[in-house]
Amino acid sequence: MTLAAVEEITDILSAPVFGGGLPPDAERQLFEAAHSYDQSDVALAHLREARRLAPNHVAVLIGLYRFFFYKGRLREALEIAQTCLLRASIENSLPLDWRQVQRDHAAFASFDDPLARFFMFVLKGYAYLNMRLGDIEEGRVAVIKLLELDPSDKVGAQVLLTVLDQRELDDVD
């Protein structure tokens, strides 16, 4: 492996998405949260402490999102998804309103850009959660934006659109 390749990997891994810049105490809280996942109150306390220590760090936000999502606390997961969208917009120097993001604003069609990929996956989660919580139109708008940003559909947004379309067909029948 060349020195340039090693430096590129180091740059990617130092991105906030992969935990770069996370204070050690916050990292320890995330570790404790993961190991106490079966004890929801304990895990959530660790996650909240991690957020207090690193309130805007992507790794902490992802930890909170996953906790709420997998515990079925979808409204709270949606709140964190909205925060993640804002964070992803800031990290990518994108407009703060995801509706205003255009395909040429970042390398959305490439999996080589972790921050652009993070934005895409957060928007997909946001779309899905809105669909699950009954805001079908907001979910649809987000899915259409995903497909506009990444027409090759590397994040699998078409599946969500198919579900929405099928739902509409079922409602008509």
Per-residue pLDDT of the chain (173 residues; tens, 9 = 90+): 334 333 443 344 445 555 567 899 999 999 999 999 999 999 999 999 999 999 988 889 999 999 999 999 999 999 999 999 999 999 889 999 999 999 999 999 887 888 899 899 999 999 999 999 999 999 999 999 999 999 999 999 999 999 988 877 676 55
Predicted model pTM? 0.84
Shared domain for 33 and 86, answered yes or no, is no
Q: Copy the structure tokens of residue 17.
A: 């998405």
Final residue belonging to a domain, choices 45, 72, 99: 72
Residues 30 and 61: their CA atoms lie apart, in Å, by 10
How many folded domains does the chain comprise?
Answer: 2
**Domain residues for 113?**
78-173
Q: Are residues 56 and 128 in the same domain?
A: no
| Rounded distance between C-alpha atoms, residue 1 and residue 120, angstroms | 30
Same domain, 40 and 101: no
68/83 same-domain check: no
Residue 19: predicted pLDDT: 54
Q: Among 72, 87, 104, give the residue marking a domain's end.
A: 72
In sequence order, which residues have a C-beta less than 8 Å from that of residue 37 and are 6 or more positions away? 43, 67
Position 161 scores a pLDDT of 92
Query: Are 109 and 35 found together in one domain?
Result: no
| 92 and 172 in a common domain | yes
Q: 10 Å Cβ neighbour count for 95? A: 12
- Same domain (yes/no): 96, 64: no
What is the model's pLDDT at position 164? 87
Query: Are 51 and 99 members of one domain?
Result: no
In this structure, are 144 and 99 located in the same domain? yes
Of 41, 72, 103, the residue that ends a domain is 72
The token pair that represents 147 in the structure block: 């497909």
User: How high is the pLDDT of residue 115?
Assistant: 85
Shared domain check, 84 and 4: no
Q: Are residues 98 and 158 in the same domain?
A: yes
Examine the domain organization and report whether 12 and 53 are in the same domain: yes
